[in-house]
Amino acid sequence: MGESEGHRQQAGQGASIAQTTTGSADDHGATGQELSQRQGHGNQQASPLADPGLPVHRPRPTDVDPRAAKRAERQVAGLLTVSSIASIGFVVAYFAIDVHASLLGVGAQNVALGASGGVALFLIGIAAIQWAKKLMYDEEMVEVRHRLSATPEERREAVDILVEGGRESGLARRTLIKLSIAPALGLLVAPVIVLLRDLGTLPGNDLKHTSWTSGMRVVQDITGDRIKAADIQIGSLINVMPADLYPTGPDGTYTGPSAGEIPGGDHIGELETPDVYVRRGEDAAIIVRIEPGVSNVPPQRQGWDVAGIFCYSKICVHMGCPISLYENQTHHLLCPCHQSVYDLADGGKVLFGPATRAIPQLPIMVDSEGYLVAQSDFHEPVGPSFWERNRT
């Protein structure tokens, strides 16, 4: 009994797979049905289950009816023709439609480009599927798996070819070419490096700091109102921002326009500085008040809270989603993007999900009037991690 036959007998239910992968060289080019019959015949007594073999191959209508094949060909050609027209429409729309024109409140050019580009790609996809399913050659073959590694002779032959190629190139004798080819190839990357400059200025230390500073008042997001520690209820969560994002008077109260006074706006009464949206993405934080006696404050964060009022970054450290889904019974903060869960009663440590470090905490205190202010900036970068995060 040959080795491959022994395999079949032991394999039991997996016999048909073993047969397909251990066939002999004679099996090359056999149709699935032929191979299945040959192997099934020799296996009937050995296997507790009959080998079902491969299903009988049924020709498609386009294989046996030339008119059906012609019809399918016309369908594919029609789809490709309409796709071509859509692509031309894309180019025409790009030049013909004013970039500021609007259609139902959205940019008309964007709609036209999206629709024509989408139709062109979609129809090419449909045409390819039709072509493959109805017209491409349809014959089932079984091919025996070969060794993937090369034999020692083949490897030697490959090395010989390389050496011969080097010799034929004459590089060894052409010193000038040899000296100039390395810089020429190496400098090819220079344009790529130069183009990196267009990505903008390097972030420097920006990623490691936010605009929270010692004494910066903690105010409510949206309204800009300052927050009195004594007014915060146990179990509540407040979205907060640094006060300097909002116009405030000398006493720290918000002095910007009210929501109704902002033309076209509904709630933003922030200072209109160019970097305001960047700052909102870094400085956003949440305040929670946790009932006394349940928090486990790590030693290095002692004194960072005000009688159970904790301030944490609102930006998930996984991929930067803003988080404020808070379950006040468990003190869990859930990120809606990929379900990272942080325990705000335990230093913001990660309980579940892809986040790999605790959510950063902002040390806070109260000023002489009892309003919340920051003690300092965050002691670590907020938001998603990056390669140089732990370097100063």
| Contact footprint for ligand FES (CB under 6 A) | 316, 318-319, 321, 335, 337-338, 340, 353-355
Least gap, CB of 325 to ligand FES (angstroms): 10
If the CB atoms of residues 46 and 321 are measured against ligand FES, the closer one turns out to be 321
Least gap, CB of 351 to ligand FES (angstroms): 12
Q: Determine contact, residues 218/313, Cβ cutoff 8 Å.
A: no
If the CB atoms of residues 219 and 317 are measured against ligand FES, the closer one turns out to be 317
| Alpha-carbon torsion, ordered 27, 31, 36, 41, to 10 deg | -70
Least gap, CB of 355 to ligand FES (angstroms): 6
Least gap, CB of 360 to ligand FES (angstroms): 14
If the CB atoms of residues 97 and 337 are measured against ligand FES, the closer one turns out to be 337
The three state secondary structure string of the chain is CCHHHHHHHHHHHHHHHHHHHCCCHHHCCCEHHHHHHHHHHHHCCCCCCCCCCCCCCCCCHHHHCHHHHHHHHHHHHHHHHHHHHHHHHHHHHHHHCCCCCEECCEEHHHHHHHHHHHHHHHHHHHHHHHHHHHHCCCCCECCCCCCCCCCHHHHHHHHHHHHHHHHHHCCCCCHHHHHHHHHHHHCCHHHHHHHHHHHCCCCCCHHHCCCCCCCCEEEECCCCCECEHHHCCCCCEEEEEEHHHCCECCCCCECCCCHHHCCCCCCCCCCCCCCHHHHHHHHCEEEEECCCCCCCCCHHHCCCCECCEEEEECECCCCCCECCEEECCCCEEECCCCCCEEECCCCCEEEECCCCCCCCECCEEECCCCEEEECCCCCCCCCCCCCCCCCC
Q: How wide is the angle at C-alpha 237 spanned by C-alphas 232 and 239, nearest 5°?
A: 105
If the CB atoms of residues 97 and 319 are measured against ligand FES, the closer one turns out to be 319
If the CB atoms of residues 174 and 338 are measured against ligand FES, the closer one turns out to be 338
If the CB atoms of residues 93 and 315 are measured against ligand FES, the closer one turns out to be 315
Least gap, CB of 313 to ligand FES (angstroms): 12
Least gap, CB of 362 to ligand FES (angstroms): 18
Least gap, CB of 335 to ligand FES (angstroms): 3
| 68, two tokens | 């059906």
Least gap, CB of 334 to ligand FES (angstroms): 9
If the CB atoms of residues 229 and 341 are measured against ligand FES, the closer one turns out to be 341
Least gap, CB of 348 to ligand FES (angstroms): 13
Least gap, CB of 359 to ligand FES (angstroms): 10
If the CB atoms of residues 116 and 340 are measured against ligand FES, the closer one turns out to be 340
CA atoms of 146 and 1, how far apart (whole Å): 22
If the CB atoms of residues 114 and 353 are measured against ligand FES, the closer one turns out to be 353
Least gap, CB of 315 to ligand FES (angstroms): 9
If the CB atoms of residues 133 and 338 are measured against ligand FES, the closer one turns out to be 338
218: nearest Cα among 193, 245, 191, 236: 245
Q: Is 144 exposed, middle or buried (0-12, 13-18, 19+ CB in 10 A)?
A: middle
As a whole number of angstroms, the longest Cα–Cα distance in the chain is 97
If the CB atoms of residues 306 and 344 are measured against ligand FES, the closer one turns out to be 344
